[in-house]
Structure 1
Amino acid sequence: MNTSDRLDCMDLIQAWAFYRDQGRWAELLDTFHPDGTIAVTWFKGAFVDFVEASRKAAANSKSLSKHQIGWPLVSLRGDRAMAETSIAILGRASLAGILVDNISYGRFLDRLERRNGHWRITERVAIYEKDRIDPVIPSELFNRFMAETDFSAYPEAYRYLAYRLVSAGRTLASPIVVNASAEADALYRRYSEWLMQD
């Protein structure tokens, strides 16, 4: 196994988060091949459109977000690679006038290809596991908000993230993949079959 290729893929995955959170849009765009796609809670489609939507959202939003990226597990085969990375998405926003922190845990499942000597991501799908929401400053107002708000419209794996996004005016994509689901199993099979193709 080529250690240099593995490190290139890992560095690319780490760079994605840094460029995304710092608003370095041109560099973010270069982490994917031009025909690359991405699927997350609020977006599913061409990566170039995701970057533009992210840029517009960042310009119009007062909320803050940060992606903490774990150590990617990379499987290589020639000019193809499959990577699985644990993630935590940290978001700060105002809900009902209350400043809150939302942490969403999950994984990025990536297909990567080396084209013309350069590794780039060709497909990314986020798999959601669990999340939580906490007040920046504990208060009775937050306790009342939690007691009186019905979050049950959203699956448990990304319940508070979904509420925060919808409250900010975003539309949820479909389908959203959650851990230990039939959709997740099918995704792993498809990625594995792609990796083994000649």
Structure 2
Amino acid sequence: MGPSHTPGFTVYKDIFEIKPAHFAVYNKSGLHIEQYWKLESKHHLEDFDETCNHLDSLLKDAISRQLVSDMPICTFLSGGLDSSIITKFTSDYMQEQDMAPLDTYSVDYVDNDKNFVKSDFQPNSDNYYIDLMNKTTYSKHHTVMLDTPELASSLKEAMLARDMPGMADVDSSLYLFCKEVKKEKTVTLMGECA
């Protein structure tokens, strides 16, 4: 089972979910499901620079709206594109507002550096990209180390927290990672499965 599934379906027999961009109304006439939004393809009229500026503006707007909090904010930083973008914009915002450096968190595994094998899919370990981001952002980085026995022993807890079967090792590591970060921070921005 992967990180995604067919919209509208669940792993349970005869139990369905409401698809994204839909809502349900139940009244004396029965159950009615309505679509409230639909992605539409339009002709792209912007040149490269305009597109970059437009995307920059959209990302800044989307991320800055999430930064309103009465609690300190942190980001999860995996080194991937989504978490790096979120971290960069959040870090810039915090620096512009004269706030304390952004706390970033990543997860790593005991002996990961010894066992990593590069491939076309992953030419470098995540740490390479995490280090690049840390050098270019206004942040203080924290790494949560996990080991195999700890991951294995938390599989059931992770599945119960998710409330449905998932991706085993990923669910387990995310569960333990969040549990550890929660000791320090309450509000987290992340790009998990974005």
TM class by shorter chain equals under 0.3
TM-score (norm 2): 0.23
Higher RCO (CA-CA < 8 Å; seq separation 6+): 2
**Structure number having the greater strand percentage:** 1
Compare CA radii of gyration and give the structure with the larger one.
Answer: 2
